Structure 1
Amino acid sequence: MKIVLVEDDEKISSFIAKGFKELGYIIQVFDNGEDAYYFLMNENYDIAIIDIMLPKLNGFELIQKLRERSNKIPIIVLSAKNATDDKVKGLELGADDYLTKPFAFSELLSRINAIYRRVNNIKETVLQYADLSLDILTREVTKADKKIELQKKEYSLLEYLMRNAGRIVTKTMILESIWGYDFDPQTNVVDVLIHRLRKKIDDPFEKKLIHTVHGVGYVLKEK
């Protein structure tokens, strides 16, 4: 999942960013509404977390401008302003949820996952392909009923492949999904990560699922 955080309190933004990075998510942080606005109008991210009291363009103004220009990115307002009028205003402007400070990271994560599932019409929390299973809530991966331990990037790659099972994905698509827009297109990091994932997902098992499409990319499928 790719997240944009708009928060001018460095302590809070560092805390949130650290939490999501530890889970393998991509997170882009801005300390003002103006820079966040131009980024969100030009980049495709999954969800935005927006504070209200921001310099240059406050959170309410940012949400309003995004919605006026038909930007439909899901938005969670994260603010110390806990008055009912502020919550109503944020939701009426187009926010999907409103969380007041102080907050628990686990609650923020739970709300983000709930919005992501709703927006993407995900009714089940388990991705299943052939005998491979991935639980997006517990992050548990099994194949042929055997539990497989994955590192953060390995998990992110497998989730991306499973969400696109049967479709060819290019190296650029994988880079953008797992590392975000700031990457070196000449890097071999995707090949290295695919190799590591194959050693855990395919090598110990008879059924191979990760296949190379030479000159194009990779595909998760049964032969």
Structure 2
Amino acid sequence: MRVLVVEDEERLARTIQRGLELEGFVVQLAHTGTDGLWAATEDSFDVIVLDIMLPGLSGYEVLRRLRARDVTTPVLMLTAKDGDYEQADALDLGADDYLTKPFSFVVLIARLRALLRRRVPQQPSVLSAGDLVLDPARRTVRRGDTDLTLTPREFGLLEFLLRHKGLALTKIEILRNVWDAHYDGPENVVEVYIGYLRKKIDAPFGSASIETLRGVGYRMVDPDRAGDGQVDDESRTAPR
């Protein structure tokens, strides 16, 4: 899930970024209202965290222009302004939520997940493929009765695959949604992490959940229906 954080206090912005990334979010930062508006209109995000007091354009103005351009991305206003009128102004301009500083990071995460659920209500709270079950809220993964331990990157990758179960996903799409927004390294890092996942979620259980589509990318399949499609040899072996 991709998050745009528009916050001019760079230290706070980096702290928010690190915390969100540990929760599996892909985070892009902007430190001025002008840069935030440009990023929000030129790229796609699942949710935006927007400060009010920003250089260039205020958060109010950024929000007003976003809604005027029919950008419907959920926006959480994050600000030191805690007056009733400030909150009312933000909500009237199209904000979806409002959180004042100082804030609890636990509450921030919970509110972001709530906004995501509202935007895509059809998404199940628990994701699964056969007996492989991932709970985004509790940050847990299990295969049958066995609890699995994944790194934050592995968890984010598995969550993205499960949310798009049955769909062919290219390496570029995976990098864009699971890795850092500014990642410019080799694409084969996806192949490496697919290998890590297979060793944990498939190899010990003698099944295949992630299908390799040669020349395309990868697809999460339901192990109970693996016989419906061909899983090639590469998908059975972890990349070296």
TM > 0.5: yes
1: CA distance, partners of 2:150 / 2:191: 16
Q: How does 1:94-173 map to 2 (within 5 A)?
A: 94-122=94-122, 124-173=124-173
2:40 paired with 1:40 = yes
Q: CA deviation at 1:134?
A: 0.3
Amino acid at match of 2:28: Q
Amino acid at match of 2:85: D
Q: CA deviation at 1:124?
A: 3.9
2: CA distance, partners of 1:112 / 1:34: 23
2:154 paired with 1:177 = no
2: CA distance, partners of 1:106 / 1:100: 13
The CA RMSD over aligned residues, in Å, is 1.4
1: CA distance, partners of 2:136 / 2:61: 33
3-state SS of 1:204 partner: helix
Find the counterpart in structure 2 of residue 56 from structure 1: 56
Find the counterpart in structure 2 of residue 81 from structure 1: 81
Find the counterpart in structure 1 of residue 9 from structure 2: 9
- Give deviations 1:162-206, integer Å, cap 9, x for gaps: 111111111111111112542337431011000000000110112
- Give deviations 1:16-75, integer Å, cap 9, x for gaps: 112112223211111110011111111111111111111100000000000000011100
Report if the CA contact (8 A) 1:2-1:180 is conserved: no
Report if the CA contact (8 A) 2:28-2:181 is conserved: no
Amino acid at match of 2:202: D
1: CA distance, partners of 2:13 / 2:19: 10
Give % identity. Answer: 39
TM-score, normalising length from structure 2? 0.89
3-state SS of 1:155 partner: helix
1: CA distance, partners of 2:71 / 2:19: 26
3-state SS of 1:112 partner: helix
TM-score, normalising length from structure 1? 0.95
Unaligned runs of 5+ in 1: none
2: CA distance, partners of 1:197 / 1:173: 18
Report if the CA contact (8 A) 1:212-1:218 is conserved: yes
Q: How does 1:170-209 map to 2 (within 5 A)?
A: 170-184=170-184, 186-209=186-209
3-state SS of 1:39 partner: helix
Report if the CA contact (8 A) 2:171-2:187 is conserved: no
1: CA distance, partners of 2:209 / 2:151: 19
Amino acid at match of 2:96: D
Evaluate the alpha carbon distance shift between residue 127 and residue 58 of structure 1 in structure 2; reply closer, same or farther with a 3 A threshold. same
Unaligned runs of 5+ in 2: 227-240
